[in-house]
Amino acid sequence: MATRVLDQQRVHAPAAHGEKTGVLSWLTTVDHKRIGILYGATAFFFFLMGGVEALLLRIQLGAPNNTFLSAERYNELFTMHGTTMIFLAIMPLSAMFFNYMIPLLIGARDVAFPRLNAFSYWVFLLGGLFLNVSWLFGAAPDQGWFGYANLTSKQFSPGPNVDFWMLGLQILGIASLAAAVNFFVTVINLRAPGMNLMRMPMFVWMSFITQVLLLLAFPVITVALILLMFDRFFGTHFFVPSGGGDPILWQHLFWIFGHPEVYILILPAFGIISEVLPVFSRKPLFGYAAMVFSGVFIAFLGFGVWSHHMFSTGMGPIADTFFALTTMLIAVPTGVKIFNWIGTMWGGSLQFRTPMYFAVGFIAMFIIGGLSGVMHASPPADLQQTDTYFVVAHFHYVLFGGSIFGLTAGAYYWWPKMFGRMLDERLGKLHFWLMLIGFNLTFFPMHFVGLNGMPRRVYTYPEGLGFETLNQIETAGSFVLGLAFVVFLYNIFQSWRKPANAPADPWNGATLEWSIPSPPQEFNFPEIPVVHGRDAHWEAKRGRTTPLPEPARVSGAGIHLPNPSYWPLITAIGLTAVFTALMVLGHTGSHVWAVVAAVLLLFFGVFRWAFEPAG
């Protein structure tokens, strides 16, 4: 295996690095940049799908007693909207940036385990397909993304809907865990010489913390899902009250995963914003150390607040008090981050290019989400707000106003680096304004409609409760939001028809990725850079009277890179086959041979992977 670990030094052996093309090269790639693009394209597709699901939900809620969607279809759509946006859109969109940017930002040639990286992607893709294949069977998950027991028990959900969700999430969890191990090791081991931890770009820091959260949170949901699988397939009663089980146990397990998951979704966006703001303020990040430690503190506290999702279960005053106070405490490091971002802008020379629009939009919207979060940190007040549209408003301000604005800032910021093409500034700004207006039209009224008594997850509402007007505004807003992404798609499309002539450093960037051509060559850095401080690329440019010359594309002869491999894909197929066979077994009680065959395929993939000759 030693030869699989990337050489950080030039190896003087002849090997040319011509760009390989063709479908086969993508199926077998272990290049972190290509895997990043695969993650991005797949996740963006799922994002659009989740968006269309949301639009259908909004049409249904546009009028009282609407029959546009049946109750069953509505429940499937809201379940899949949440599940898709969390597991198939925001997480893998973040993974796109982990993949593409972390090695570039730390001055490495690839991730620590390139084939494991490919495996993560294929498992993610197949897991996403597994979840969505349920639509073809007319049995999409319909129990909510939180899958509260005992509604998920065989008795109350006899169909395969819950099974698609339960097993699909299990598959996706494996992808996330494998990726988390990979990036954790990458950040620890593959940083360029001189880049000590406190010199790492903030995106790398926040991504690193995210990997720790993934490593600690996902095992919990894995266990919960296994217990649920035993309940549903093999007749156990972990969560079934009539058999002595406890549905509350599910809630604890789910939210011990679920709350850190919120930070898994937002911390990468924090990181992106912390890269974009300094570059477009032409000023280093304000309070670097405070930013690092507040991130660590948020992640740590994130494991001590889960029961604030459960105040309405009646846990008693001591537990309520504990979880209320820890939840409020999280507002302090979060506030520190917001103030430091504004501090970064303060006194700067702000360059309002498209990434900066989205970054500032992120701060403005995230403040609102943070403040409404403090409102339901207070249990007696939360007892009115929980399970209403107020909460829907809150977490969309965090996950859309926060994560999606942040990820979009990252997309505009790193697009030229990833594809060698500039996105259009005018279209980018149109995208921003449509998104900002559409977002607020859709979600701001939800605060009021929620406090005024509209519960979540209802497929319709009667006349006479007063919900009509605000829901109409929200539905109209959601289409403006949809239009914003049509503009984005058009922007991508038009950039494709133009020559790939983006400079290496279009924004006067601060970090190492801007020191190499756009897009980078397969080996990233002809020579591994030596880092002498934070903002390494700014340091390299400081004191020069003329701009740095465009970095030349070099042959890269002699740079050792890992070989392409089929085995990650085969292993991922084997793994998904195991879960598919379990599904068949769970529903027919027979076809054990399918499980055996799938396990054999999985072992075959792993075996060949392990003994693949290093070439």
Partner 1 sequence: MLFRTVAPRSLRSASALGLLAVVLVACSPEHYPQTTLLPRGDFAQIADHLLDTTVKWALLVFVLVEGVLVYSIFRFRGKPGDPEPQQTHGNTTVEIIWTVIPALILAAIAVPTVKAIFQTSSSPGKGSLLVEVVGHQWWWEFRYPEFNLTTANELHVPVGRTVSLRMGSGDVIHSFWVPQFAAKRDVFANRETRLWFKAEVTGEYPGQCAEFCGVQHGRMAYRIRAQTPEEFSAWVAHMQSLKAQPASTARGDSGVKTASQGATVQQSNQGAAPSQGAAPSQGADYATGEKLFTAKGCVACHALYAVNAPKGMVGPNLANVGARSYIAAGTLKNTDENLSHWIRDPQGVKKGVLMPNLGLTATEAQALVAFLRAHK
Region 469-498 residues binding partner 1, contact defined as CB under 8 A: 469-470, 473
In the numeric block, the tokens 């479908």 are attached to 23
612 in contact with partner 1 (CB under 8 A): no
32 close to 99: Cβ distance less than 8 angstroms: yes
The residue among 130 and 145 lying less far from partner 1, judged by its C-beta, is 145
Answer yes or no: are the C-beta atoms of 99 and 182 closer than 8 Å: no
Contact window for partner 1 (CB under 8 A) among 111-119, 458-466, 486-494, 596-604: 458-466
Q: If binding is defined by CB under 8 A, does position 429 make contact with partner 1?
A: no
Query: Among residues 150 and 565, whose Cβ is nearest to partner 1?
Result: 150
CB of 12 to partner 1, least distance (A): 41
In whole angstroms, the minimum distance from the beta carbon of 9 to partner 1 comes to 33
442 in contact with partner 1 (CB under 8 A) = no
Nearest to 264 by CA among 148, 340, 176: 176
SS3 455: strand
Select 108 or 301, whichever has its Cβ closest to partner 1.
Answer: 301
Q: Kindly give, in sequence order, each residue whose CB lies less than 8 Å from that of residue 498, ignoring residues fewer than 6 positions away.
A: 421, 422
| Of residues 330, 355, 328, 359, the one with CA closest to residue 342 | 359
Piece of the chain touching partner 1 by CB under 8 A; list 90-98, 180-188, 327-335, 574-582: 327-335
- What are the residues whose beta carbons fall under 8 Å from the beta carbon of 389, sequence distance 6 or more? 446, 447, 449, 450, 454, 455, 456
DSSP 3-state assignment of 343? helix
Shortest distance, position 225 Cβ to partner 1, whole Å: 19
Binding residues among 260-299 for partner 1 as defined by CB under 8 A: 281-290
Full DSSP string of 14-31 = ----PPP-SHHHHHT---
Q: Which is nearer to partner 1, 212 or 451 (CB)?
A: 451
CA distance 307 to 255: 7
User: Applying CB under 8 A, does 237 fall inside the site for partner 1?
Assistant: no
Of 425 and 612, which has the nearer Cβ to partner 1? 425
Neighbours of 67 (CB within 10 A): 10
304 binds partner 1 (CB under 8 A): no
> What number of other Cβ atoms are within 10 A of residue 610's Cβ?
9
Instruction: Kindly state whether residue 543 participates in binding partner 1, applying the rule CB under 8 A.
Output: no
Which stretch in 24-32, 370-378, 410-418, 565-573 sits in contact with partner 1 by CB under 8 A?
Answer: 370-378
Tell which residue, 114, 40, 33, 103, has the closest CA to residue 519. Answer: 33
Q: Could you give phi then psi for residue 522, rounded to 5 degrees? A: -55, -35
Q: Which of residues 31-70 bind partner 1 (CB under 8 A)?
A: 70
Q: Restricting to residues 166-225, name those near partner 1 by CB under 8 A.
A: none
Q: How far is the CB of 464 from partner 1 (least distance, A)?
A: 7
For position 28 contacting partner 1 by CB under 8 A, the verdict is no
532-566: buried (b, 16+ CB within 10 Å) or exposed (e) per residue?
Answer: eebbbbbebbeeeeeeeeebeeeebeebbbbebbb
Indicate the burial class of 588 (C-beta count within 10 angstroms; 0-12, 13-18, 19 or more). exposed
| Alpha carbons 163 and 174: distance in angstroms, whole number | 17
Q: How far is the CB of 157 from partner 1 (least distance, A)?
A: 8
Going by the DSSP 8-state scheme, the letter that residue 553 receives in this structure is: P
Q: How far is the CB of 314 from partner 1 (least distance, A)?
A: 4
CB of 258 to partner 1, least distance (A): 15
Interface of this chain with partner 1, residues 59 to 118, rule: CB under 8 A: 70-72, 74-75
384 sits near partner 1 (criterion: CB under 8 A): yes
Structure tokens at 391: 């909460």
The reply to whether 332 sits near partner 1 by the rule CB under 8 A is: yes
Minimum Å gap between C-beta 156 and partner 1 is 5
Does 464 engage in binding with partner 1 (CB under 8 A)?
yes
Separation between Cα atoms, residue 334 and residue 298, nearest integer Å: 7
Q: How many whole angstroms separate alpha carbon 460 and alpha carbon 61?
A: 6
Does the protein bind partner 1 through residue 381 (CB under 8 A)? yes
Cβ closer to partner 1: 118 or 392? 392
**Does the footprint of partner 1 cover residue 455 (CB under 8 A)?**
yes
Interface pattern 121-160 for partner 1 (x via CB under 8 A) = ---------------------xxx---xxxx---xx----
Under rule CB under 8 A, residue 436 binds partner 1: no
| In the complex, least distance from residue 191 CB atom to partner 1, rounded to whole angstroms | 21
Residues 339-368 that bind partner 1 (CB under 8 A): 339-340, 342-343, 345-352, 360, 363-364, 367-368
* Count of residues that interact with partner 1, criterion CB under 8 A: 98
d(CA 51, CA 479): 10
Q: Which residue stretch of 125-133, 335-343, 492-500, 598-606 sits at the interface with partner 1 (rule: CB under 8 A)?
A: 335-343
Q: Which of residues 551-590 bind partner 1 (CB under 8 A)?
A: none
Query: Across-strand partners of 455?
Result: 388
- Is 1 one of the binding residues for partner 1 (CB under 8 A)? no
Q: Bridge-partner residues for 388, per DSSP?
A: 455
